Amino acid sequence: MSIEIKAPSFPESVADGTIATWHKQPGEACKRDDLIVDIETDKVVMEVVAPADGSLSDIIVAEGGTVLSNEVIAHFTAGAAAPAQADEGPSAATATDQPDSSGPAVRKLLHENNLHATQVTGTGKGGRLLKEDVLNYLKHPTPVAVVTPVAPVTPAPAPMAKEMPKESTNQMVSPSSGPQHRTSRRVPMTRLRATIAKRLVSAQNEAAMLTTYNEVDMSPIMALRKQYKAQFEKAHNGTRLGFMSFFVKAAAEALKRYPAVNASLDGNDMVYHAYQDVSVAVSTDRGLVVPVLRDVEAMTLADIEKGIVDLANQAKAGKLTLEEMQGGTFTITNGGIFGSLLSTPILNAPQTAILGMHKIQDRPVAENGQVVIRPMMYLALSYDHRMIDGKEAVQFLVTVKELLQDPARILLEILSLIHI
């Protein structure tokens, strides 16, 4: 029975998608719910699985092609295995050993490094090419033997034979020698990367973006974390106590006091939100994504930590849904995990503000007339000056700073003690 394989139904905000990777080829047997193809949209990668046991009969839209919502992209034959695999003879074994039987990660790695599968020796079952084989080849390329053609030589007098070195017929040429390895590679920008670039440029061109800075003494939070880290992990089923939960909670409390920082722009309208949905920037191999933590004002520190870990794992695996990436009211990004000491974050439109965290570094500070060493972190708040005044932005950032330097206020929700 032939079945049409269609692209998923895209939301209204997604016009089309791109075929990223075909994980199954025509004639290749698969089971129900096996991954057949990845479709990349502006925001997420959507997976299409096999509707039943069987095999693909033909592919209509090749990799790199653009597809619309519910468009037919392939035909699937249910209950029928691939002809080549039905034959158990030598031809079937040979087909299994072909490089095309390698996984999508191997094919992608070969393509990115301009390699052919025949250049790499497979160590998997039946000579199957593994990702480790390609990585090992890239680290230690096998030298290519170049044989210099030798013209037929007529017998020469004995004295001339001493002048003809025998080893001149075969020479080993190192892959790193010669100008042929000074190559460039042109790779088309992925749909997600192109969308990110477009949004970042749009945010800088359209918003009246300004950034204010401050610094926070991380000693109190570090001491609290050190004292209760083990107990926290034990009490919350292995959830670890990090720094992000304190920043998210401090931001949520400050957003209650300064609602303009939690607002968004819709044309000429300013939309104020009575809830705090915080977007947390996550770096992945495909690009930067910002999944959303919903209703953080009602979440505990443990809920926030667990939610961030879950979203980060889904993002790195490409499993985020559109619902998990839309609707944030405020964004927090942490460049400090990569060693950034100070930066200017770019707005995540249509939001009007974004908080940037940075590296914790010991610095001398003046305290009670004395110079002491404290673990300090720079904070950066970029905001849209069309909606947020400088006074509000500075006061919001100072509020976050005060809450972090006295974390008991976060736990007790004592925001009224902060005087600016």
Task: Indicate the pTM of the whole model.
Answer: 0.61
Q: In sequence order, which ranges of 271-417 are alpha helices (DSSP H)?
A: 301-316, 390-405, 408-412
| Catalytically annotated residue among 33, 87, 310, 389 | 389
Residue span(s) of the chain under CATH 3.30.559.10 come to 191-412
Q: Are the beta carbons of 123 and 133 closer than 8 angstroms? A: yes
Residue span(s) of the chain under CATH 2.40.50.100 come to 2-139
Q: Are the beta carbons of 386 and 265 closer than 8 angstroms? A: yes
Task: Categorize the per-residue pLDDT at 120 as very low, low, confident or very high, splitting at 50, 70 and 90.
Answer: confident
Is-catalytic flag, 273? no
Lookup: tokens for 225:
């974390």
Between CA 16 and CA 309 the distance in angstroms is: 30
| Catalytically annotated residue among 33, 181, 310, 385 | 385
In eight-state DSSP terms, residue 166 is G
pLDDT in tens, 38-66: 888 766 778 888 888 888 888 998 888 88
Between CA 258 and CA 177 the distance in angstroms is: 62
Q: Is 191-412 a domain of CATH 3.30.70.141?
A: no
pLDDT in tens, 216-236: 999 999 999 999 989 999 999
265: helix, strand or coil: strand
Is-catalytic flag, 389? yes
CATH number, span 2-139: 2.40.50.100
Whether the per-residue pLDDT at 35 is higher than 60: the answer is yes
pLDDT in tens, 354-412: 999 999 999 999 988 999 999 999 999 999 999 999 999 999 999 999 999 998 887 77
